[in-house]
Structure 1
Amino acid sequence: MDVVKHDDAETYEPDEGWERRALAGSDQFSFEWFTKPSGHSSPMHDHENEQVCLCLEGELTLHSEDGTSVTLEQYDSAFIESWETHAVENTGDGMAVGLDVFAPGRSFDFWTDREE
């Protein structure tokens, strides 16, 4: 059994206020808890991993490359296929908290080694 305490988890802050924490996982799947300040959006991106985004607090809007958007409220979730181009934005008034699940699992290298 591999236990990761939230306060001891590996963290990464791609932008100010956008914190990500690597929770327990494996090469097959990984969990990333995150906070996202009001008005913040990740850049449009894609990845080989399938992804489930779960909104734990606040409001998260997922934007697709084709211009469609869907808003998740508390406990709503969305499945994002591998290589599906998307962005995640906090369109609410307060801090949003979410959980991303990736299969296969990934590390923060996705963001740190990324070419713009």
Structure 2
Amino acid sequence: MKPVPFDEAESYEPEDGWQRVSMAGSDQFSFEWFEKPPGHSSPMHDHENEQVCICLKGELTVATEDDAVTLQKNDSVLLESWEEHRVENTGDELAIGLDVFAPGRSFDFWTEREE
């Protein structure tokens, strides 16, 4: 067993107000808790990992080149490997979500990303 206390987990803030926290995971899967202020959107991006995005609080809109879905509390969406997408807080309050990635990944995806 490998517990990860939230206050001791690896975290970073890729942009002002957009915080990500690495929760328990492995090379096979990883969990990233995140919060986004109203109006914040990640840039369009893709990655080799399949991703499930779960909305824990507020409202998150997940958009691909062809579609968009708005998630409310406890809603989720599956993004396939290499499916280009962005996640935006389209609500009026702080949004909190959980991303699950398979295979697992590290924060290097964002910290070493080239625009």
TM-score band by shorter chain is: over 0.9
1:85 is aligned to 84
Amino acid corresponding to residue 55 of structure 1 in structure 2 = C
| Pairing 1:1-116 to 2, within 5 Å after superposition | 1-66=1-66, 68-116=67-115
Give, in whole Å, the separation in 1 of the partners of 2:98 and 2:55. 7
Q: String of CA shifts for 1:68-108, please: whole Å, max 9, x gaps.
A: 21100000000000000000000000000000000000000
**Unaligned regions of 5+ residues in structure 2, if any?**
none
Equivalent pairs: percent with the same residue?
A: 71
Q: How many residues are paired up?
A: 115
How much does 1:52 deviate?
A: 0.2
Give, in whole Å, the separation in 1 of the partners of 2:5 and 2:36. 20
Give, in whole Å, the separation in 1 of the partners of 2:39 and 2:63. 14
Q: String of CA shifts for 1:50-78, please: whole Å, max 9, x gaps.
A: 00000000000011022x21100000000
* Matched position secondary structure for 2:82: coil
Give, in whole Å, the separation in 2 of the partners of 1:11 and 1:70. 27
CA RMSD after TM alignment: 0.5
Give, in whole Å, the separation in 2 of the partners of 1:65 and 1:9. 33
TM-score (norm 2): 0.99
* Matched position secondary structure for 1:47: coil
